């Protein structure tokens, strides 16, 4: 049993759901989801397309769980209004995807949504300097952006999480630390030990015994 004061939280990635039976899969994993994670890709920041505002709005009608919209896009400022209207509770973006991260943060804040910044593999923690007091969530990517099925965390992932924990404690900040990518049975305990508050499980929950896996995650 974990010594953490709060249970490990899950923002379940719907990218790993059966996209032809999305409502059914949402219902199936909902008891083990604190939120749902929706990756939005424009084919520019990363070379693939995924999720769009109307689909997010449709999912919003099927669950009361918070929706975390992860903008894997160039110029995220173009997308914030649409996904806010679609029902997002948190909007996450990469600080190097825009020329003015502060402007994007202001756009999200003005809509009274949670703000998340995502650190790609190789992005240093210092990329968040100047924004620490204005963010609610830091997402640490454990795999290259847009790559699925990887079972091993990228080099430096755990060290980056530990550094974020230290920075949070030093400055008495309250942002949540979340791990996304390579979420597997053997990596989750390592991520939790390093200090993450939440993870983004995908196939880990959708494949195999969902109830057993969900209960195990709750115990960490």
DSSP conformation letters of 114-160? EEEEEE-TT--GGGGTTTGGG-SEEEEESS-TT--S--SPPTTHHHH
Total Cβ atoms within 10 A of residue 111: 14
Contacts of 124 (CB under 8 A, 6+ apart): none
Active site residue 186: no
Instruction: Say how far apart CA 135 and CA 132 lie, in whole Å.
Output: 6
- The H or E element that residue 177 is part of is strand 176-180
Active site residue 209: no
Whether residue 214 contacts residue 205, with contact meaning beta carbons closer than 8 Å, is answered with yes
Question: How many residues does this entry show for the chain?
Answer: 220
Instruction: Say how far apart CA 162 and CA 173 lie, in whole Å.
Output: 15
- The H or E element that residue 10 is part of is strand 9-13
DSSP state, residue 41: E
Structure token pair of residue 139: 């997402």
Q: Which of 25, 39, 42, 197 is catalytic?
A: 39
Instruction: Say how far apart CA 202 and CA 1 lie, in whole Å.
Output: 23
Q: Which of 42, 68, 180, 197 is catalytic?
A: 180
Would you name the residues annotated as active-site residues?
Answer: 39, 180
């Amino acid at each position: 049993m974990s010594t953490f004061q709060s249970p490990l939280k899950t923002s379940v990635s719907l990218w790993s759901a059966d996209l032809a039976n999305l409502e059914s899969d949402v219902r199936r994993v909902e008891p083990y989801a604190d939120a749902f994670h929706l990756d939005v890709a424009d084919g520019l920041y990363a070379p693939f397309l995924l999720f769009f505002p109307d689909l997010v709005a449709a999912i919003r009608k099927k669950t009361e769980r918070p929706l975390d919209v992860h903008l894997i896009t160039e110029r995220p400022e173009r997308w914030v209004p649409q996904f806010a209207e679609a029902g997002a509770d948190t909007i996450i973006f990469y600080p190097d995807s825009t020329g003015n991260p502060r402007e994007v943060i202001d756009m999200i804040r003005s809509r009274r949504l949670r703000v998340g910044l995502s650190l790609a593999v190789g992005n240093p923690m210092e990329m968040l300097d100047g924004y620490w007091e204005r963010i609610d969530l830091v997402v640490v990517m454990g795999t290259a952006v847009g790559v699925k099925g990887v079972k091993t965390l990228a080099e430096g992932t755990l060290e980056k999480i530990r550094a974020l924990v230290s920075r949070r404690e030093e400055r008495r900040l309250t942002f949540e630390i979340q791990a996304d990518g390579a979420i597997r049975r053997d990596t989750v305990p390592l991520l939790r030990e390093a200090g993450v508050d939440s993870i983004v499980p995908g196939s880990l929950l959708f494949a195999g015994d969902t109830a057993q896996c969900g209960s195990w995650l709750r115990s960490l």
